[in-house]
């Protein structure tokens, strides 16, 4: 069992991400070291995670007083009402700061559980076991917790770091293909925003990863991807500037999702994949990147059968609506739409460098076929 390890060390935290295949057995030893006073453990589980993992966790943690809480996940789980319910349950069992909440699920379950962990008794120990590719490469890193509000997604939350993240690729066997593609969108993004040959590696290995779910390739892709996210988070934990680079393709994506009323017709990852291509086409029109860069990116989409064309889904009127939604993005700090664009593979524009008025963007996007 080979385990890859990434240590996250910044002003507020110091913890590790462990990545590998069948690595849950490492947990008891880690807990002994990281939370030596713990007596109680709440395992908060996504109901779609195969039950063998629940059994295994209960077995390896049998020396603790373990409580399990299972949830069917949807964005509706990320609500104050549900947070309050789980918090009250933990309080009724007398959980205190030295005890542990372990989240076992995708980004929804992770965001929700981490928020609960951050507010019960002003913060109990939190361990994250992400079980989707997206949560392994994205949402489990960076300390953002949160729930939704009637005003929008993820508008209420805290920054709260886990004591440990365990990304076990064996969870990915049961994940639907569409969810694998969702995680792949973030992996591709990470390969585009830092110069380190990751994109070239991904070009060679994507098919094996997406179609065969090769465990070694998945482990390496998660490791390389996490390293990129950690780089940005460590430089800018509170998201004051540089971390916004991670938003590449996402301003388009959020607006596409909002225009579709967050229906499953286009899921988040699919919207990010379309968004990254739109941002790159825009970069080409604005002469920020060359045709070669655009073609290089297109090639990886085509070879892996990934859709990038928003014309399949949207009319001209819809596209204008999407731009209107882009105006509401919480990363805009004035009336203009702040976009991260691509200079070349491995280099983006700086946050705040390119801003468009609503009309400018509508006029330019008309030119994109
Ligand atoms: N905190 C952050 O920094 C951050 C970053 C990105 C996204 N997010 C949040 O993450 C959420 C999306 O996360 P996600 O893409 O993981 O979606 P998700 O949590 O909805 O999981 C996707 C689907 O997979 C199922 N599932 C989970 N693990 C499984 C497994 N091992 N086998 C089979 N099915 C499984 C879930 O039940 C769900 O149906 C959004 O709420 C988003 O806002 C947070």
Q: What is the pLDDT of residues 113-142, one digit of tens each?
A: 999 999 999 999 999 999 999 999 999 999
Share of residues in the chain with pLDDT > 70 (%) = 98
pLDDT in tens, 35-50: 999 999 999 999 999 9
Q: What is the pLDDT of residue 327?
A: 86
pLDDT in tens, 230-284: 999 888 877 778 889 999 999 999 999 999 988 889 999 999 999 999 999 999 9
Q: What is the pLDDT of residue 12?
A: 77
> Does residue 227 surpass a pLDDT of 80?
yes
Highest mean pLDDT among 2-16, 257-271, 289-303: 289-303
Q: What is the mean pLDDT of residues 318-339?
A: 84
pLDDT level of residue 1 (50, 70, 90 thresholds): low
> Does residue 369 surpass a pLDDT of 80?
no
Instruction: Provide CB contacts within 8 A for 99, sequence distance 6+.
Output: 35, 38, 39, 40, 41, 42, 124, 125
Q: How far apart are CA 330 and CA 311, in angstroms?
A: 26
Q: How far is the CA of 161 from the centre of ligand 1 (A)?
A: 18
Q: How far is the CA of 74 from the centre of ligand 1 (A)?
A: 9
Q: How does the average pLDDT of the chain come out, rounded?
A: 94
Instruction: Provide CB contacts within 8 A for 344, sequence distance 6+.
Output: 289, 290, 293
Q: What is the pLDDT of residue 332?
A: 63
DSSP annotation of 40 reads E
Atom 39 of ligand 1, residue of closest alpha carbon: 73
Counting ligand 1 atoms within 8 A of each CB, the residue from 54, 126, 139, 215 with the most, and so the one to mutate, is 139
Q: What is the mean pLDDT of residues 96-125?
A: 98
Question: Residue 153: helix, strand or coil by DSSP?
Answer: strand
Q: How far is the CA of 174 from the centre of ligand 1 (A)?
A: 13
**pTM score over 0.85:** yes
pLDDT level of residue 151 (50, 70, 90 thresholds): confident
Closest to 291 measured CA to CA, from 300, 301, 302, 283: 283
Q: How far is the CA of 107 from the centre of ligand 1 (A)?
A: 4
Q: What is the mean pLDDT of residues 67-75?
A: 97
Atom 27 of ligand 1, residue of closest alpha carbon: 106
Q: What is the mean pLDDT of residues 45-61?
A: 98
CA distances from 283 to 33, 188, 292 (A): 48, 17, 12
Q: How far is the CA of 87 from the centre of ligand 1 (A)?
A: 21
- Spell out the domains of the chain, with CATH numbers in brackets: 4-173 (3.40.50.1970), 176-369 (1.20.1090.10)
Q: What is the pLDDT of residue 333?
A: 64
Ligand 1 cavity residues, CB under 6 Å: 46, 48-49, 73, 75, 105-109, 111, 131-132, 134-135, 138-139, 142, 144, 153-154, 171, 174-175, 179, 182
Q: How far is the CA of 268 from the centre of ligand 1 (A)?
A: 10
* 65-71: strand order across its sheet: 4-9, 14-20, 164-168, 125-130, 100-105, 40-46, 65-71
Q: What is the pLDDT of residue 231?
A: 93
- Provide the pairing of β-strand 100-105 with 40-46: parallel
Find the range with the poorest average confidence among 54-68, 134-148, 330-344.
330-344
Counting ligand 1 atoms within 8 A of each CB, the residue from 24, 47, 48 with the most, and so the one to mutate, is 48
Share of residues in the chain with pLDDT > 90 (%) = 86
Dihedral, 64, 70, 138, 174 alpha carbons, nearest 10: 100
Instruction: Provide CB contacts within 8 A for 104, sequence distance 6+.
Output: 43, 44, 45, 46, 49, 53, 54, 57, 129, 131
Q: How far is the CA of 123 from the centre of ligand 1 (A)?
A: 23
């Amino acid at each position: 069992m080979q385990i890859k390890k990434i240590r996250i060390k910044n002003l507020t935290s110091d913890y590790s991400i462990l990545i590998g295949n069948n690595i849950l057995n490492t947990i008891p030893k880690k807990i002994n070291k990281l939370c030596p006073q713990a007596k109680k453990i709440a395992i908060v589980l996504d109901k779609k995670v195969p039950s063998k993992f629940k059994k295994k966790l209960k077995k390896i943690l049998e020396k603790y007083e373990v409580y399990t809480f299972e949830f069917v996940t949807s964005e509706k789980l990320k609500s104050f009402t549900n947070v309050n319910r789980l918090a009250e349950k933990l309080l009724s069992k007398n959980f205190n700061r030295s005890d542990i909440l372990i989240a076992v699920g995708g980004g929804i379950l992770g965001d929700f559980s981490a928020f609960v962990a951050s507010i019960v008794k002003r913060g109990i120990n939190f361990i994250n076991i992400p079980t989707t590719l997206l949560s392994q490469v994205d949402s489990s890193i960076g300390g953002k917790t949160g729930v939704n509000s009637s005003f929008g997604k993820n508008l209420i939350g805290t920054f709260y770091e886990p004591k440990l993240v365990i990304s076990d690729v064996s969870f990915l066997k049961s994940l639907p293909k569409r969810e694998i593609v969702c995680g792949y969108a973030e992996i591709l993004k990470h390969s585009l925003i830092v110069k380190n040959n990751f994109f070239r590696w991904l070009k060679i290995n994507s098919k094996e990863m997406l179609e065969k779910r090769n465990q070694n390739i998945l482990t390496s892709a998660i490791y390389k991807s996490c390293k990129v996210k950690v780089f940005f988070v460590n430089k800018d934990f509170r998201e004051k500037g540089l971390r916004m680079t991670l938003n590449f393709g996402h301003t388009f994506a959020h607006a596409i999702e909002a225009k579709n009323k967050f229906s499953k017709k286009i899921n988040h990852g699919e919207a990010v994949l379309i968004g990254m291509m739109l941002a790159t086409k825009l970069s080409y029109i604005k002469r920020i990147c060359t045709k070669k860069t655009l073609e290089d990116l297109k090639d990886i989409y085509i070879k892996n059968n990934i859709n990038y064309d928003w014309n399949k889904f949207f009319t001209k009127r819809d596209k204008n609506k999407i731009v209107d939604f882009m105006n509401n993005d919480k990363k805009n700090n004035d009336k203009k739409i702040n976009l991260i664009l691509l200079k070349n593979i491995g280099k983006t524009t700086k946050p705040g460098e390119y801003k468009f008025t609503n009309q400018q963007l509508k006029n330019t996007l008309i030119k994109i076929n």
